[in-house]
Structure 1
């Protein structure tokens, strides 16, 4: 799994960083930062929840 974030779409709601702090964080500008682009499969459920909760649809997952 590879995690992607489109900072151009991010509206800094923060759901991702609260849901999976080991994968997402906020930059100084408040926008999403992916801190672990390739988390283990044990994070799949949590990352999928963060993707689903993102109000601006800035997050996605691909299978690599």
Structure 2
């Protein structure tokens, strides 16, 4: 899971840090930041719920493709 925050869209509402503090925080300007770039799988639901709660629609989640295995 790759989590991104578009700083230009962030409205500094703090929803991300409120609902998933294990993953998100806010910088000195109040803009959301990803504090845990590799959250445990148990936090995936919380992260995804923050995506739709974000008032600025600034957060996106991208599933990482598994590395291709050796060809036989």
Answer yes or no: is the 8 Å Cα contact 1:4–1:37 preserved in 2.
Answer: no
Where in structure 1 do 4 or more consecutive aligned residues deviate above 4 Å?
Answer: none
* Structure with greater Cα Rg: 2
How many residues are matched? Answer: 64
> Gaps (5+ residues) in structure 1?
none
**Structure 2: which 5+ residue stretches go unaligned?**
65-72
- Aligned-partner Cα distance in 2 for 1:38–1:8: 23
Q: Which residue of 1 aligns with 2:4?
A: 4
Q: What residue in structure 2 maps to residue 23 of structure 1? A: 23
Instruction: Calculate the TM-score normalised by the size of structure 1.
Output: 0.94
Alpha-carbon shift at residue 37 of structure 1 (Å): 1.4
User: What is the root-mean-square deviation of aligned Cα atoms in Å?
Assistant: 0.7
1 or 2 for the larger relative contact order (CA 8 Å, sep ≥6)?
1
What does residue 35 of structure 1 align with? 35
